Structure 1
Amino acid sequence: MSVAPDLIEHLPRLRRYARALVGAGAADDLVQDTLERAWARLDQWRCGEGDAHERLRAWLFTLMHHLHANQCRQRHPPMQALDEDGEGPAAQAVSGGQLESLGRRDLQVALETLPVAQREVLLLVGLEEFSYAEAAEVLDVPIGTVMSRLARARSAMRLRLSDEVAPAAAARTPAGWKVVK
């Protein structure tokens, strides 16, 4: 009789990725669905070559990716406009002195504006520290696709986050002064 792998030790990383992927409200459901599917299909997991711990982690992230993709196909969440007319997530009031909170909110809003394919690659490589090859295996795409999606995601994030800073800096700059970066 073989010993079942410890799925629980991967729980913190699965939760972190799920929260970044779908938000705090739906993250626990996605993690639970992932663990249920993993437990039900544990006989399909093969240790393979290399570190069994890392192979299990990649397999769990692959299951989560497929579950998330299926959920996205089944329901189309309403899109929130990111306009400057005082509505949407960019216009939420925040008490003064909470710069870290503002930075996290801006990062979350910028992440949410990325296409799902780019957001998944950015989170796997940037947050979960998967190699390009591991991310390609999890997403079932070629490594070149991972690299191009990651480049587009980073570029979009850079642009989006610099747009967040530019209007605020311009508003604080006295008339006739230039902002030097």
Structure 2
Amino acid sequence: MSHGPDWTDRAAGGTSPAPDAFETQVLALLPSLRRYSRSLTRSDIDGEDLLQDCVEKVLMRRGQWRGLNLRGWVLTIMTNLYRNGLRQRGGRTFVDLDDSTDLPSPEIDADPLERSRLEIALNTLPEENRAVLMLIVVEGYSYQDVATMLDIPIGTVMSRLSRARKRLSDLMNSDNVVTLRRPK
């Protein structure tokens, strides 16, 4: 009597050995998938839901993977799940900044106000620009990889990245202006 997939049955003549390289590779991707899902949803809770939905879909559709660039394939699935969820909800959702304080990042001896300003600036970016920025700057993908993942032309990737960087720069520098009076 079987209640689910039995790894020993698969290893004894099924489709793959237990536990196989595919699942090991998916497990290795979890930290970057978690970062990306949180950057898309702007929420720890919604990010975890998106991550779980993505992993479930990836495991169910493992037969569709052709053995090339697993990370890109999985991120494409996550992006499409996120877009489909937005369409179903009819638009954007916003999260209170207090809900996003548990983002995984190394603690550095930086100005906490500066970090807060960066979070605010990132959350004000349009989602398509933020997704491109996160994939290229944080995850280290090439322009071509991001274009393939998001199913957009490479020129669009470059322009979205440029707009995201410009907007971040403007937002981060806007509060740093100190007006000085000339001595009389």
Which TM-score band applies after superposition, normalised by the shorter structure?
Answer: 0.7 to 0.9
TM-score by length of 1: 0.74
2:71 paired with 1:71: no
2:181 paired with 1:162: no
1:48-107 alpha-carbon deviations (Å, 9 max, x no partner): 4xxxxxx00111110111011112222234568xxxxxxx96xxxxxxxx9533222211
**Do the aligned partners of 2:132 and 2:161 also contact (CA within 8 Å) in 1?**
yes
| C-alpha separation in 2, matches of 1:28 and 1:165 | 35
2:3 corresponding residue in structure 1: none
- From the superposition, tell whether residues 163 and 69 of structure 1 become closer, same or farther in structure 2 (CA, over 3 Å): same
1:104-132 alpha-carbon deviations (Å, 9 max, x no partner): 22111111111111111001001111000
- From the superposition, tell whether residues 176 and 77 of structure 1 become closer, same or farther in structure 2 (CA, over 3 Å): same
Q: In terms of mean alpha carbon deviation, does 56-65 or 19-28 score higher?
A: 19-28
TM-score by length of 2: 0.73
- From the superposition, tell whether residues 113 and 19 of structure 1 become closer, same or farther in structure 2 (CA, over 3 Å): same
1:176 corresponding residue in structure 2: 181
Q: 1:118 aligns with which of 117, 129, 134?
A: 129
2:153 corresponding residue in structure 1: 142
- Alpha-carbon shift at residue 164 of structure 1 (Å): 3.0
In the TM superposition, 1:8-157 aligns within 5 A as 8-22=27-41, 23-48=43-68, 55-75=69-89, 76-77=91-92, 100-157=111-168
- From the superposition, tell whether residues 26 and 79 of structure 1 become closer, same or farther in structure 2 (CA, over 3 Å): closer
| C-alpha separation in 2, matches of 1:79 and 1:27 | 13
| C-alpha separation in 2, matches of 1:30 and 1:79 | 15
- From the superposition, tell whether residues 157 and 137 of structure 1 become closer, same or farther in structure 2 (CA, over 3 Å): same
| C-alpha separation in 2, matches of 1:177 and 1:12 | 52
Letter in 1 for 2:173: S
Task: Show structure 1 runs of 5+ residues with no match.
Answer: 49-54, 81-87, 90-97
Superposed CA RMSD: 2.3
